[in-house]
Homo-oligomer: A and B are copies of this chain.
């Protein structure tokens, strides 16, 4: 299918690669291995190689790619990746705030729609929401101009016991995990203190407000990210 239903020369598939590279390259902009991409995208490594070759030889190259040494985004590639990420997170916020979606439902719908949102719709949605900074899971929404500074969050598993923390974000990868996290009252913005580190694959966590303590499985804890309690808030 040619470019009828698509913005410029972008394809949904290419968007997915760019998003994956952005996510996997981390704050240090490390090179991303073909294999890592293949696993992340749920496809074969051979397919990844082919696509990286294509992306790196496009007119405005979206990816810098060296055989056997992985890929990283070019400026153009990063721009597009952030654009799609912005679409995704704005959509999540919109579906959640205006269309009564639960925070466990927004990811799937946004994942599908993010590729097809025009600049105009992006702007209208952002305006309607009042230019939000965070999506429903606490992730930073890249700005329109491409500005994007990921906060330096720390995984709850690695947070020191006894140090007051604020939940900053939660992974949105698994809907049922999100429901479990919500049931425990661990939304972004919640104050917590780790009382006892990983023991029997669980943490003891004291939740700020009610001073109650819960036992949190390692699997869920790994999906929760926190910052020190001092910094500026992180409203959900």
Contacts and interface: CB of A to CB of B under 8 A. Distances in A.
Interface residues of A, number: 24
A181 B105 CA distance: 41
Given A5-B12, A124-B100, A128-B98, A109 B118 contact: yes
A15 to B, nearest CB: 10
Contacts of A116: 112-113, 116
B1 A11 contact: yes
A5 B13 CA distance: 9
Given A11-B1, A105-B120, A99 B113 contact: no
Q: By CB atoms of chain B within 10 A, which of A101, A115, A116, A118 has the most?
A: A116
A139 B121 CA distance: 23
A101 B124 contact: yes
Interface string A80-122: 0000000000000001001111000100110011011010110
A113 B124 CA distance: 15
From A5, A120, A128, residue with most partner B Cβ within 10 Å: A5
Given A1-B13, A108-B118, 10 more contacts: A1-B1, A5-B115, A95-B121, A98-B128, A99-B121, A100-B124, A100-B127, A109-B120, A112-B116, A116-B116
